[in-house]
Amino acid sequence: MGAWVRCAALTQCAKPLNKPPAMVYNAAGRENRVRAQRDKKTTMPGHLNAANLFDWTQVFGRTAPRVLDVGCGDGRFLIASALANPGRDHVGIEVLAPLVAKGRGEAERLQLANLRFFVGDAVQWLSECAGDASIDEIHAYHPQPYYDPSVVELGMLSAAFFERAWRVLRPGGILVLQTDSRPYGKHLLAAARKHFDPVIQPGPWPDAPHGRTHREEVAQRKKLEILRVVAARRETPLDVALPPPYFAAGRPGLPTVVSALRRRRKVDRSS
């Protein structure tokens, strides 16, 4: 597993946060959107069966291997996969509606009958709409790690996520993970181990050497180390302890930026 597991103190490997305060505002906005989405009841008129589970057969009009991308962004990976694999059905879940609209537009332009996008929180969707043993592949590319313990529950790849993914995947199913954060990558390998057998992909994906996602493409241009994992579903989970939810409490720069923002807000209120 190379450098992803050899680093003795990976939380010290994170680079300083050199982003302006505006980027922190954007992160806070994302947290609010995720919370708001989880407060909503997942509704998919016409797409749920009598048990209120997503009905793949009804939606796609056939029975075929099923691919789910959680936090799919604008659907770049799904669109490429749907084009290359017309015999598989694909679903993307993304919390940001503009990205879903972009993906839907491109799928419609390409007339991809084997691809659907939905706006929603992927964790909620897996919990409420995905039936047990109903999916063949789950993909999660560059999930957002959280660096504040007060919002760590918003992180998608929690212990509950891996357990739920194990349940909704069919025997022989796979979970695909990718990140360019070394500390988070180490955490994901440990968190997945109980329910999956993670194997690191050596080098770029053969089907997309320049990147399956925009984030991967940018990371490659910046020469960042990218962890690509294909994790096979275990028949029986291992009897091992799971790591706690991930956050880097000592991330350099973040406390300073957050404190500056709080001081600025106090000044704004008093003026």
What's the confidence (pLDDT) of residue 55?
Answer: 95
Question: Is residue 126 one of the residues assigned to a domain?
Answer: yes
Q: What is the pLDDT of residues 138-156, one digit of tens each?
A: 999 998 766 555 554 555 7
Q: What is the pLDDT of residue 248?
A: 54
Residues 228-258: pLDDT tens digits?
A: 999 999 999 999 988 877 655 444 444 333 4
Spatial separation of the C-alpha atoms in residues 96 and 183, rounded to whole Å: 26
Residue 90 has pLDDT above 90, yes or no: yes
Establish if 9 belongs to a structural domain.
no
Backbone angles phi, psi at 7, to 5 degrees: -65, 120
Q: Which of residues 17 and 109 earns the better pLDDT score?
A: 109
Q: Which of 184, 185, 194 is nearest to 161 (CA)?
A: 194
44-77 residue pLDDT tens: 545 888 888 999 999 999 999 999 999 999 999 9
**pTM of the complete model beyond 0.75:** yes
Residue 11 lies in a domain: no
Nearest alpha carbon to residue 119 among 137, 144, 101:
101
CB-CB contact of 40 with 123 (8 Å):
no
- Percentage above 70 pLDDT, the chain: 69
- pLDDT number for residue 42: 47
Domain range for 193 is 20-270
- Confirm whether 8 is domain-assigned: no
Joined together, the tokens standing for residue 216 give 């991967």
Question: Are residues 198 and 166 in contact, defined by beta-carbon separation less than 8 angstroms?
Answer: no
Q: What is the pLDDT of residues 154-200, one digit of tens each?
A: 557 788 889 999 999 999 999 999 999 888 899 899 999 999 999 99
CB–CB of 16/252 below 8 Å? yes
Distance CA 220, CA 26 (A): 24
- Taking the C-alpha atoms of residue 19 and residue 212, their distance in angstroms, rounded to an integer, is 25
Quick one: pLDDT at residue 148? 55
CA distance 94 to 61: 23
Is pLDDT at 11 greater than 80 in this prediction? Answer: no
Cα–Cα distance, 178 to 258 (Å, whole number): 28
> Locate tokens 């799971």: which residue?
242
Residue 202 in any domain: the answer is yes
- Number of structural domains (the chain) is 1
Give the CATH number of the domain where residue 166 resides: 3.40.50.150
User: In terms of DSSP H, where are the helices of the chain?
Assistant: 3-6, 21-39, 56-60, 76-84, 97-109, 122-128, 159-168, 182-192, 214-221, 254-270
User: Radius of gyration (Cα) for the chain, nearest Å?
Assistant: 19
91 occurs within a structural domain: yes
